Amino acid sequence: MKNLSWIALLALAGTACQPQGNATAAKDTRPANAAAEPKPEAPLEQGASASAAPLSQVDLADAWSNATAEANGNPSMEGFYGPSHYRISFYFSTVRRDSLHPEVYHIRGINRYKKVITPFEGTCTVTRFAALPDTVEMENSSQLRAYTAFAEYTLREDPKTKGAGVYAGKAMLDFAVNARNKAHQARFGIDLGLDNPTKGSGLLFQGTWRDNRTGQQKPASWSSNFLVIVPEALEKIGLGSRGDTIYPELAKYGWNEWFENNEWWATSPKPRLNL
């Protein structure tokens, strides 16, 4: 990551809560007490993009990879692992759509847990879409309908790595499609998108990790904006606070490393697995 102070981090997190980037939320004109409800979920063959192509024909690889304007300089995703909610980071180095099964996306990447970096690969399979109640503003100021793609993922860590296991669960992606049939991740931010499936983050993974050797399972979740999934126990000691106070208590959960800026995803070897 870039060499940020704690104050700069919080400023960045605050920015992630505001509409911005390739696809941003339009102003919500609903009454303050009106909750945003996604339209009924649609099977893969239904729904249309701005180019009138069915959503199932749109390549979502870039959007799944977290390749957004907001992520420039730090494309990794942050989250929480295990019952202690220790910090875990994910980076998707490649996301590729399957040529024979277009609902399947092949993912390769690395994760970091307690400074241990582990390569993984797997799939993310889209099962359905749902239209969101809000539109997003694209780069040319056009307003486009936003959607959520619901998927199931399985990411297998390199079995040669000590303590390797498998991450599996549900993934959700908010996106919009321009007239060129290009999908962009849509981030509504916490204030506008709290009721969306991704909680306004744009990209959210929630599931478990299973140990290859023992079968033991632990909860794991990560997002393009970790503020939407901060556990209550860590909120109480300051994680996600918008002030400029540094909370030393967070160090034992891995959240004191914003000063280090080692860009771990860039300096790590690219994953090469044969699972």
> Rounded to whole angstroms, how far apart are CA atoms 136 and 144?
5
C-alpha pair distances (Å), 234 with each of 35, 80, 82, 115, 249? 26, 10, 13, 20, 9
Q: What is the pLDDT of residue 266?
A: 79
Tokens 């007490």 correspond to 33
Q: What is the pLDDT of residue 36?
A: 45
Q: Are 53 and 181 in contact (CB under 8 A)?
A: yes
| pLDDT tens digits in sequence order for the chain, 275 residues long | 333 333 333 333 333 333 334 454 444 444 444 444 445 445 554 444 555 568 888 999 999 998 765 556 678 899 999 998 999 999 999 999 999 999 999 999 999 999 899 999 999 999 999 998 777 766 555 678 889 999 999 999 999 999 999 999 999 999 988 878 888 888 776 555 567 789 888 899 999 999 999 999 999 999 988 888 887 877 776 676 654 455 677 777 887 765 455 677 876 555 554 44
Cα Rg of the chain (Å, integer)? 18
Q: What is the pLDDT of residue 5?
A: 36
Q: What is the pLDDT of residue 270?
A: 52
Q: What is the pLDDT of residue 228?
A: 86
Q: What is the pLDDT of residue 125?
A: 98
Residues whose CB falls within 8 Å of the CB of residue 160, separated by 6 or more in sequence, listed in order? none
Q: How many other C-beta atoms can be found within 10 angstroms of the C-beta atom of residue 215? A: 8
Q: Are 11 and 18 in contact (CB under 8 A)?
A: no
Q: What is the pLDDT of residue 31?
A: 43
Tokens 């290009």 correspond to 182
